Amino acid sequence: MSTHTANHSNKESGDDKESGTTRRDFLYLTAGAFGAVGTGIFAWPFIDSMNPAADTLAMATTEVDLAPVEVGQAITITWRGKPVFIRHRTPQDIADAEAVDVSTLRDKETDEARVQKPEWLVMVGVCTHLGCVPLGQKTVEPKGDFGGWFCPCHGSHYDSSGRIRKGPAPKNLPVPEYKFLSDTLVRIG
């Protein structure tokens, strides 16, 4: 009988070891799961703060009615906190921009690559040198030596296609992503 008790006792010890391992594994998994959830709860506000603000998302796109803009006129709208220049170019503006020898430009870009419709030029109105807003949107403002825009901060001159022609600016005025929804309605962004 004592053999039976010893065997029974050894059997229980073996079961306890198996149960202990299972319990230990369960405790490790449970602790790990709570740790992961706790880390997620702690980290979520930080991760969420990297998303754009609601007011920025609201400005992600903007639609502009171009019907009231006469040939030769320009308007400035704000998109994503930046000025966007839209000019209804004259046939002379278009001809001047297309006649430029692209190989002479610092930032080589054809007029055709910068516009979707030749009569409409849409671009971000921030000088690529140090971020000033160039003059040339109003008829009384200087348009520089090339009939486009003139940056008063450091003297960069842009042509009627917004390409850098003279001065310290390294690149052309950038063209934002835009799409014509109709002949006179454009969506920027």
The mean pLDDT of 53-63, rounded to a whole number, is 70
CA separation, residue 60 to residues 4, 5, 67 (Å): 80, 79, 22
Beta bridge partners of 187: 63, 179
- The predicted-structure confidence for 123-159, as pLDDT tens digits, reads as follows 999 999 888 899 988 888 888 899 899 999 988 999 9
**Mean per-residue pLDDT over the chain, rounded:** 85
Against a cut of 0.85, is the pTM above it? no
Asked about 154 being catalytic, the answer comes back as yes
How much is the pLDDT for 103?
Answer: 93
Catalytic residue among 4, 8, 129, 154: 154
Q: Are 70 and 88 in contact (CB under 8 A)?
A: yes
